[in-house]
Amino acid sequence: MEMAGARDDVNVLTFNAGSSSLKVGIYSVDGERARSLFARTLSMEPTAAGATAAINAVLASELPAEIALDAVGHRLVFGGPDDAPTLASPALFDRLARYERLDPLHAPAALAALRTTHERLAHLPNVLCFDTNFFRELPARARVLPIENSEPDFLRRYGFHGLSYEYVRATLGTRLGSRAILAHLGSGASLAALRDGKPIECTMGFSPLGGILMATRPGDLDPGVLLYLLEERQQSVADLRRLLEERSGLRALSGGERDLRHLLERGDDPRAVLAVDAFCTSVVKAVGALAALLGGLDTLVFTGGVGEHLAPIRSSIVRGLALFGMKLDIHANEIHADVISLLSSAVTVRVVTTDENATIARATSALVHANAERTR
């Protein structure tokens, strides 16, 4: 590639297709440094057609013509056991299509965005970056599922939100301390425990359905509930999928509202109060369990849309963790400061604005450089 011989930096166009939006960025990457040159967020129907239309709109009129692009990076939530950053190819598309039903909220749109971009920008390397790759070194006891299992390499616990966690880890470095818990709280939400910067446990497992309570997903749920619905209520697998993906979590508890910002505004509505309390309690329980595995806690980090912007949610969670010696700085919390704990707090509580696209850009640049070195 011309860029490999002419300069060290790589200009990476990034796409992150979510359940309701497409986040687009261009980053100039030099080693571990990713400098944002361009950013847009477009509303998008969470379907293959919606993603294709959004990508075509971006490529037709949104990108600045003066920036020369060297590569394209994409986020995919799930890639199975082979989840290292990898170049797009027809064979890879076929493999990923088999996993689509495991993440119907994100996968159809993300795959459509990838296919469209790969066709429209075929002259550039298109690199896929997977959310699960961050957790590739989880210990065996954190990966295994306690069921009779003929596919242990595939049917296991993975962990998600890894691109966000990688950004937080790279941003904070040694400031994480030896024992850290990262809480990515948004419509989808999870937590990860890191010892000396390496993940040892997480709340999500085989799919993004498990763990803590989420906007429309239930988090951990007694499997007996699903058996009852199948056997006694005669619900179909399709019915259960809609229930678990779209009609559970905050939406179910509140009577229809999934957005914590709106639920916080409904302080006189018992169902809204219940939903907020249940969400915060699920996070407190998860932090307590993960801290026990770590043997204590040095740092708690809030990130994601909820974690970064909703001070009352952070306050409620920190209050529930007082036994760890956490002490909240009320003013710092209200202004979303980088550190929201008091100096006397036994645990440092931080807020980090995540940037998954920056992580995608760095991983894409690294793969492009590695391939260029191999072909010299």
- Domain membership of residue 215 (yes or no) is yes
Number of structural domains the chain divides into: 2
- Domain membership of residue 42 (yes or no) is yes
Same domain, 145 and 213: no
**Alpha helix (H) residue ranges in the chain:** 2-6, 48-57, 90-97, 107-120, 140-143, 162-172, 223-231, 237-246, 249-254, 260-265, 270-294, 304-309, 311-320, 330-334, 356-374
Same domain, 33 and 88: yes
Q: How far apart are CA 85 and CA 311, in angstroms?
A: 35
Question: Token pair for residue 285?
Answer: 């329980």
Q: What is the largest CA-CA distance in the chain?
A: 67
Same domain, 177 and 112: no
- Asked whether 229 and 221 are in contact (CB, 8 A), the reply is no
Same domain, 327 and 366: no
Same domain, 222 and 324: yes
- Asked whether 351 and 302 are in contact (CB, 8 A), the reply is yes
| Closest by CA position to 324, among listed 346, 351, 348 | 346
Same domain, 325 and 179: yes
- Domain membership of residue 185 (yes or no) is yes
Same domain, 98 and 202: no
* DSSP per residue, 276-289: HHHHHHHHHHHHHH
- Domain membership of residue 324 (yes or no) is yes
- Domain membership of residue 103 (yes or no) is yes
Q: pLDDT tens string for the chain (376 positions)? A: 444 445 579 999 999 987 778 899 999 999 889 999 999 998 888 788 988 999 999 999 889 999 999 999 999 999 899 999 999 998 898 888 888 877 777 788 888 888 999 999 999 999 999 999 999 999 999 999 999 999 999 999 999 999 999 999 999 999 999 999 999 999 999 999 999 999 999 999 999 999 999 999 999 999 999 999 999 999 999 999 999 999 999 999 999 999 999 999 999 999 999 999 999 999 999 999 999 999 999 999 999 999 999 999 999 999 999 999 999 999 999 999 999 999 999 999 999 999 999 999 999 999 998 888 777 7
Q: How far apart are CA 201 and CA 198, in angstroms?
A: 9
pLDDT at residue number 7:
58
CATH (domain of 14): 3.30.420.40
**Beta bridge partner(s), residue 349:** 300
Same domain, 104 and 216: no
**Alpha helix (H) residue ranges in 121-186:** 140-143, 162-172
pLDDT at residue number 2:
43
Same domain, 288 and 368: no
Question: Token pair for residue 276?
Answer: 């907020």
Residue 134 lies in domain: 2-150+362-374
- Domain membership of residue 159 (yes or no) is no
Give catalytic residues, as residue numbers: 131
Same domain, 334 and 369: no
pLDDT at residue number 110:
85
Question: Token pair for residue 154?
Answer: 């595939």
Same domain, 232 and 213: yes
| Closest by CA position to 53, among listed 122, 120, 131 | 120
Same domain, 35 and 98: yes
- Domain membership of residue 89 (yes or no) is yes
- Domain membership of residue 210 (yes or no) is yes
Residues 6+ apart with CB under 8 A from 314: 302, 307, 328, 333, 340, 349, 351
